[in-house]
Amino acid sequence: MLGITRSFKVSPIRRAFSAFTYPACPAFGAGRSQLQRFIHRDAKPKPPLAFTFDIDGVLLRGHHPISGVHEVMRILEGENELGHSPLPSKIPFIVLTNGGGTTEEQRASDLTAKLGTHIKTSQVVQAHTVLKPLACEYKDKPILVLGGIGDSVQQVAERQVWNFTHFHLAVREHPTLTLKLTESMYNIAVFRQYVQALGAYQPTSRQDADFSKTPIHAVVAFHDPRNWFLDTQIACDVLRGVYLDSLIWRGMQQERGPKPVELIFCNPDLIWGADFPHPRLGQGGFITAFQSVYEAQFGERYPFKQYGKPYKATYDFAKSVLLGQLADIEQTNTKVDLPPMCDPFVVDNPESDIAGANGAGWKSILVHTGVYDPNSGVPPKHLPTYQASDVGEAVRLALRQEMDKPPA
């Protein structure tokens, strides 16, 4: 879309900016007019700001766009007060979510349909996107992937070029393993019905595995497990080498220590905002349950690596992705410098989002359309830079603050 032209007409977007107030925010300072700020043509301008958005509870609630999101997309596409030459009218942004279970291409396509604007794959950072660098480390080491619906996480692992197997596929390919696993669980018929319901996905040799001869080097939860009982049992077994030939298991322990199988999670969120009016349990709930079961049975918790918000590795990865978006602007407008950091981050969860933003030195805007409920009377555990009722108010707040800045 074209940027707003300078004229004596007052655009709807300008009226919205003029009408916007947020009494709880700090004073913005007097600042100068937009014309004054850019009157020096020799100054090399910078992109005014770049946004990072959470998805669940900020842009979407479940499968539905939150009110005002489509207007926000129009603002980011150019209908804003920053649409003047020589700056680009579009405002760069990425989405950063602890959700996942689908490829970045699929998530970008889904967001494009729901948000009413084109979202590129390069704008999407999901919980397991951050695991891509680990795929090289495990290139020749089989892993077991957990979570997701049907074969969704298998597609993710395949796209990231992991050398992976999946328990459900191994069960279908090895009937004796099915009996071995179900003897101590629950009704075999129910179990088989569950496995058959996974769909008609045809595994390649990459996923096919005989667990008695395949040394699994890591158990990785790419997404929220759907059957906690089953995945907990299988994870416990694999972490302790139950299915593996004893000679192979002892060799792994001699090489890598008493706990040779690494355990990796990519989303620590205990709860998240969905279609349901109250928060739902996330992968963090599974982690808590799994560790409780493991400790109750074996007397200790199993060491694990954690990725996702609020962990620094995720914010560092997201920053590199956002700088990539800004680099695209530099290629199309060589007069634009890249900013030194990413802000603001529009989020809904103080426990993960705000904690991580504060730790990474990012500014944050906490919206009230997701996990955090301002009517609960409980202040957020981690304090954001600002608060806003929804993403529309958050974006206008950031734009107004940008416009009130004195020239650099």
Do both 242 and 382 map to the same domain? no
Q: Are residues 360 and 275 in the same domain?
A: no
Nearest alpha carbon to residue 354 among 344, 364, 341: 364
DSSP state letter for 350: I
For residues 219 and 186, membership in a common domain is answered with: yes
Residues 297 and 238 in one domain: yes
Q: Name the band, by pLDDT with cuts 50, 70 and 90, for residue 169.
A: very low
175 and 214 share one domain: yes
Q: Is 280 found in the same domain as 215?
A: yes
pLDDT score of 82: 62
Separation in Å, CA 199 to CA 106, 169, 182: 19, 10, 20
168 and 27 housed in the same domain: no
pLDDT tens track for 294-353 = 999 999 999 999 999 999 999 999 999 988 888 776 665 544 444 544 568 999 999 889
The verdict on 322 and 352 lying in the same domain is: yes
Closest by Cα among 168, 156, 60, 164 to 101: 156
- Note the pLDDT of residue 200: 36
Query: Does residue 115 lie within any of the structural domains?
Result: no
Sheet holding 93-96, edge to edge: 124-125, 93-96, 51-53, 345-347, 364-367, 386-388
End position of a domain, from candidates 253, 287, 306:
306
Over 60: is that where the pLDDT of 265 sits? yes
CATH of the domain at 187: 3.40.50.1000
Q: Is the distance from CB of 165 to CB of 153 less than 8 angstroms?
A: no
Provide mean pLDDT across the span 141-153: 77
Q: Is 122 a member of any domain? A: no
Residues 234 and 177 in one domain: yes
Lowest mean pLDDT among 27-36, 241-250, 320-329, 352-361: 27-36
pLDDT at 254 over 90: yes
Is there a domain that residue 85 lies in? yes
Residue 215 sits in the same domain as residue 352: no
Question: In this predicted structure, what is the pLDDT of residue 98?
Answer: 93
> Higher pLDDT residue, 47 or 155?
155
The residues pairing with 93 across neighbouring beta strands, listed in sequence order, are 51
> Is 151 a member of any domain?
yes
Encoding tokens for residue 405? 């800045």
What would the mean pLDDT of 378-396 be, rounded to a whole number?
95
In a domain, 259, yes or no: yes
110 lies in a domain?
no
Range(s) of the domain holding residue 350: 12-98+311-403
Task: Evaluate whether residue 168 is within a structural domain.
Answer: yes
Among the three residues 277, 306, 335, which one is the final residue of a domain in this structure?
A: 306
Domain end: 306, 330, 348, which one?
Answer: 306
318 closest CA partner among 135, 91, 126, 82: 126
- The helix/strand count (H/E) of the chain reads as 15, 15
Kindly state the average pLDDT of the residues 217-244. Answer: 90
The number of distinct structural domains making up the chain is 2
Q: Are residues 204 and 289 in the same domain?
A: yes
Q: Does 187 lie in the same domain as 154?
A: yes
| C-beta of residue 192 within 8 angstroms of C-beta of residue 178 | yes
In a domain, 221, yes or no: yes
